Structure 1
Amino acid sequence: MSFRAEKITKSYGDLMVLKDLDFSVEKNEVLAIVGPSGVGKSTLLKCIVRLEEQDSGEFYLNDVPVDDTNRTKIGLVFQSSSLFQHLNVMDNLLIAVRYHKIYPEEEGVKKAEELLKEFGMLEKKKAYPSELSGGQKQRIAIIRALLLKPLVLCFDEPTSSLDQENKNLLIDIIQKIKKDHAIIVVSHDSEFIEKVSDHTVILGKV
């Protein structure tokens, strides 16, 4: 399984953020995208998952251009966990699964419980986001992304609100899930990047 970017360019008016950017990442690899604030790291992630559209260039998943037919094969774990506060953990996990009809209902619940158990969170399935720590919220966000069966999983500044214990747990989780996924991580955390990344793309001012 492979994901690659070819000649990605993105501007906002006269401000060019990304110019002719090329990179690739394979299954069982972690690609880190680094650089100072304002060079387009988060913009690049938004283009990858089609929250925004690049001006030119193309993303490819297994040599097929990424479009609305295969975009759900690319997941994104946001910087904030983006959980719905009025829903408990299980309903947060299943809302996108139900919308996209990824599994029959019983199978979706079973798969969610399996991942909750694997991530040490099964006892929290009826809890609400306000009852969870920052690290627990992030694990729920990762499980939610995994339930959509992505081939590529992107993380936007995943350590920004984590203490060292939860950073170490996140490192273990990424090392575990990369066996079945290509991972793209945007981060300012150089210690974290050094521990998880196999390759690095450095963005600078265009």
Structure 2
Amino acid sequence: EGEVVKNSVLNALEVGYRVIDTAQIYGNEVSIGEALVESGIPREELYITTKIWVDNMSKAKLIPSLKESLEKLQTDYVDLTLIHWPGKNENVEEYMQALLEAKSLGLTKEIGVSNFNIELLDKAFDAVGKENIATNQIELSPYLQNQKLVSYMLEKGIKVTSYMTLAYGEVLKEPLIIDIAGKYKVTPAQIVLAWALAKEFAVIPS
């Protein structure tokens, strides 16, 4: 939180990061916004994602909550806004249509979902059309490959975004990964990230 987040983001930007992934529930949008302004990097060079938390997924709350996120991030728009968790299944149409309205208002360039299974993806498709859903961000790592869901997303033309790709570092301790890294004279993290990129995932290396 606070200065720790701000300094981490500034350091990441300094070494070349241009994609920022945050969420309302993380409680760090203010610190990220301060870092983005202080960095002086032109907004068009950045790709910023935030996520709508379950408390804000009603039609009445979603757009106001996104506007609040934009104020905290000190930007007029984000590049991608996701529904963070599915919430109650019967609300899918309501919050997806509210999210699409946010896009039409210019608050976000793209919209998508996170942690959706096949059934929920189908409901999201029915609500706004699959052409309007940029990605489904899901937990994926060598430990959790979720092949059925990934195959379905690719079949439907939905970009796969993986988070916890390094399993919070646990996969880096795996003897097989260490052996492969030694063979190719690279780090275990590079092996795992190469695996994910070879599968054409958009990767969040956590």
TM-score under structure 2 length normalisation: 0.38
**Larger Cα-atom Rg:** 2
Bigger fraction of residues in strand: 1
Higher relative contact order (CA 8 A, sep 6+): 1
- Report which of the two has the higher share of helix: 2
